[in-house]
């Protein structure tokens, strides 16, 4: 037993000598300026191509958004009574959402420690409030889009 106590234990951490490490640059020192210029031109061409693709993507997205806004504006003009009804429903549902958020936050504040301690209680909370919150937000978004008043600058002139 005395032999085990007298044997030295290996250190938990070893030392690393970084003074002898050699620096290896990313571009070899023997490369010529022409090779470097060629690589930089390739990088520039690649970036130009990426910029062109991004510009095309932005124009596609904005075109679809403009078309959607036009279709929505035409629908609102064709269904003014329904658009007003959607506006009133969105306002009422907004009040319901406010009350729902109030009860949700009250539940969180009252049961903070319980929710923090166990996955079961957190899952129960999410199951109880999550789907209703998601559906309520979706309904509000649709009603708000259908009821939004058209922008006077983009609306056609009416007599």
50 and 110: one domain?
no
86 and 72: one domain?
no
The verdict on residue 4 lying in a domain is no
Domain count, the chain: 2
Whether the predicted pLDDT of 127 surpasses 60: yes
* Distance between CA atoms of residues 52 and 62, nearest Å: 15
Whether the predicted pLDDT of 58 surpasses 80: yes
- What pLDDT score does 115 carry? 86
- pTM of the full predicted structure? 0.52
- What pLDDT score does 23 carry? 54
* Distance between CA atoms of residues 121 and 106, nearest Å: 16
Single residue among 18, 47, 78 that ends a domain in this structure: 78
pLDDT in tens, 61-110: 999 999 988 998 898 888 889 988 999 999 999 999 999 999 999 999 99
- What pLDDT score does 158 carry? 39
* Distance between CA atoms of residues 4 and 34, nearest Å: 66
């Amino acid at each position: 037993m005395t032999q085990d106590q007298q044997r030295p234990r290996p250190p938990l951490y070893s030392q690393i000598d970084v003074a002898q490490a050699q620096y290896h640059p990313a571009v070899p020192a023997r490369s010529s300026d022409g090779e470097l210029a060629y690589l930089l031109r390739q990088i520039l061409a690649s970036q130009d191509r990426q910029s062109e693709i991004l510009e095309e993507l932005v124009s596609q997205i904005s075109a679809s958004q403009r078309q959607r806004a036009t279709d929505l504006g035409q629908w609102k003009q064709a269904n003014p009574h329904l658009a007003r009804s959607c506006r009133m429903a969105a306002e009422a549902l907004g009040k319901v959402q406010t009350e729902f958020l109030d009860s949700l936050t009250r539940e969180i504040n009252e049961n903070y420690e319980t929710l923090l301690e166990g996955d079961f209680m957190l899952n129960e909370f999410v199951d109880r409030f999550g789907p209703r919150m998601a559906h309520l937000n979706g309904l509000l978004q649709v009603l708000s889009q259908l009821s939004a008043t058209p922008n006077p600058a983009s609306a056609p002139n009416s007599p």
